[in-house]
């Protein structure tokens, strides 16, 4: 590879993250890490970008704490978290979908592990308790022990084949009005859907609550949270796992498995639902038959957002398509699981492929949201995308291509 070019790209990434994407956001001047020009704000799922940035550079720890506090400060009294915030006549927050994608409670606890601030820990614990309670009140309408997807944007998987047949594959809207995330759609024979990824986050929220309670000395509460997490995991296996296919599928309101092999699979690992000691056979099969299968997810430029063997794998749109492209968000979240599960060599390969693709096309397209999983060509979506920049910088360091 062209080490000099990679070094120059990393230097530009570091500059942009610090000087362009880090901006005053709160009325008191506190700063936030923004996603990109296409997304001029911060989404709940992108809190991980801020946390990861702080892990790469401890001097950025305050940005991670600010990201967490932003969402907590705009949490509604009933416990609902906004899914996004933008700078517009103050701070504009939105509540029309969930789009968590990484457990916010877990990320909050990771920030506490950086700052060791007891008052911060108490704040995030109460916030996570309230968020968990909101999900239980509003998103468990069918009583199956798992939370539910009401609209496609809940998942953040825009334009994915897993959303086909839903009345609201984007926002849940009525007469042109976008509905609140707590409102159950009517007239939809598919939703509410038991979504695998959303319940992985739900599981990890409960394990994070247990860890917080332990840290606070609330041992009985910690035990109760772990018991609840175990119940979520049991329900995931009961409702969503297909032992014949060796896959976890979303399930519609009638109990039918929606057999689209999407990247929801990775959330079982990134949220640590699967235990390396007790779920050995399931992990081995998922990895062998799907994740590391060249005819499924192990493409020349891993990992596509839907298995290339799946009938729905196609470009539903030319950009921002979670039914086709390999996404920077998927790649960045691999930092949360591949080493932990013993797949470090494969992770090195993934890092190498992303570095190669973005270095090759850097003169024409700047570090965007997604790559073609077969050719490595980028889409036109969201140049200077924070998740892609952070992953490129991490991968270059991991592979020893820069200092």
Model pLDDT for residues 290-321, shown as the tens digit of each residue: 999 999 999 999 999 999 999 999 999 999 99
> Does some domain include residue 54?
yes
Q: What is the pLDDT of residue 38?
A: 86
> Does some domain include residue 367?
yes
pLDDT in tens, 199-253: 999 999 999 999 999 999 999 999 999 999 999 999 999 999 999 999 999 999 9
Say how many domains are in the chain.
1
Average pLDDT rounded to a whole number, residues 8-36: 96
Average pLDDT rounded to a whole number, residues 78-86: 96
Q: How far apart are CA 39 and CA 99, in angstroms?
A: 14
The C-alpha R_g of the chain, in whole angstroms, comes to 20
Q: Is the peptide bond before 285 cis (omega within 30 degrees of 0)?
A: no
Q: What is the pLDDT of residue 1?
A: 67
> Does some domain include residue 391?
yes
pLDDT surpassing 80 at residue 94? yes
Q: What is the pLDDT of residue 40?
A: 85
Q: How far apart are CA 378 and CA 362, in angstroms?
A: 10
Q: How far apart are CA 125 and CA 143, in angstroms?
A: 26
pLDDT surpassing 90 at residue 13? yes
> Does some domain include residue 296?
yes
pLDDT surpassing 80 at residue 89? no
Mean pLDDT of the chain: 97
DSSP string computed for 157-212: -TT-GGGTT-S-SS--EETTEEPPTTPPPSS-SS-SEE-HHHHHHHHHHHHHHHHH
CA-closest candidate to residue 81, choices 191, 253, 205, 167: 205
pLDDT surpassing 70 at residue 179? yes
> Does some domain include residue 371?
yes
Q: What is the pLDDT of residue 390?
A: 98
Give the pLDDT band (50/70/90) at residue 90: confident
Q: How far apart are CA 227 and CA 126, in angstroms?
A: 19
> Does some domain include residue 403?
no
Owner of token pair 């020893």 = 400
Of 85-99, 250-264, 360-374, which gets the smallest average pLDDT? 85-99
**What percentage of the chain carries pLDDT values higher than 90?**
96
DSSP string computed for 341-394: TT-HHHHHHHHHHHHHHHHHHTTTS-S-SEE-TTT--B-SS-SS-HHHHHHHHH
CATH code, 46:
1.50.10.10
pTM > 0.95: yes
pLDDT in tens, 125-149: 999 999 999 999 999 999 999 999 9
pLDDT surpassing 70 at residue 9? yes
Q: What is the pLDDT of residue 88?
A: 76
Which range marks the domain in which residue 154 is found? Answer: 3-398
pLDDT in tens, 225-237: 999 999 999 999 9
pLDDT in tens, 23-58: 999 999 999 999 998 888 999 999 999 999 999 999
Q: What is the pLDDT of residue 104?
A: 98
């Amino acid at each position: 590879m062209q080490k000099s070019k990679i070094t120059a790209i990393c230097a530009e990434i570091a500059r942009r993250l610090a000087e362009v994407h880090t901006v005053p956001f709160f009325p008191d001047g506190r700063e936030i890490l923004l996603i990109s020009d296409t997304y001029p704000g911060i989404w709940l799922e992108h809190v991980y970008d801020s946390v990861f940035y702080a892990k790469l550079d401890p001097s950025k720890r305050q940005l991670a704490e600010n990201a967490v506090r932003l969402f907590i400060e705009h949490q509604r009294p009933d416990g609902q978290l906004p899914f996004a915030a933008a700078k517009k006549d103050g701070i504009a927050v939105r509540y029309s979908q969930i789009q968590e994608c990484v457990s916010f409670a877990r990320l909050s606890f990771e920030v506490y592990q950086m700052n060791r601030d007891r008052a911060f820990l108490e704040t995030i614990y109460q916030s996570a308790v309230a968020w968990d309670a909101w999900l239980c009140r509003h998103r468990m309408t069918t009583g199956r022990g798992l939370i539910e997807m009401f609209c496609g944007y809940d998942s953040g998987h825009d334009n994915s084949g897993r959303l086909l047949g839903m009345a609201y594959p984007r926002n849940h809207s009525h007469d042109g009005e976008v509905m609140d995330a707590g409102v159950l759609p009517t007239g939809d024979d598919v939703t509410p859907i038991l979504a695998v990824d959303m319940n992985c986050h739900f599981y990890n929220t409960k394990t994070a609550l247990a860890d917080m309670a332990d840290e606070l000395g609330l041992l009985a509460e910690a035990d109760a949270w772990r018991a609840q997490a175990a119940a979520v995991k049991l329900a995931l296996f009961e409702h969503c796992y297909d032992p014949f296919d060796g896959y976890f599928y979303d399930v519609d309101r009638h109990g039918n498995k929606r057999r689209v092999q999407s990247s929801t699979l990775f959330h079982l690992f990134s949220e640590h639902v699967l235990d390396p000691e007790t779920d050995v056979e399931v992990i081995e099969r998922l990895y062998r038959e799907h994740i590391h299968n060249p005819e499924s997810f192990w493409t020349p430029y891993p990992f596509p957002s839907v298995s290339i063997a799946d009938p729905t794998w196609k470009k539903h749109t030319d950009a921002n398509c979670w039914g086709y492209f390999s996404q920077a968000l998927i790649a960045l979240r691999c930092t949360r699981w591949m080493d932990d599960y013993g797949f470090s060599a494969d992770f090195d390969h993934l890092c190498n492929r992303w570095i190669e693709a973005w270095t090759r096309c850097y003169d024409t397209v700047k570090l965007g949201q997604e790559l073609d999983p077969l050719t490595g060509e980028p889409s036109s979506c969201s140049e200077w995308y924070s998740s892609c920049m952070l992953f490129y910088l991490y991968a270059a360091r991991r592979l020893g291509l820069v200092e």
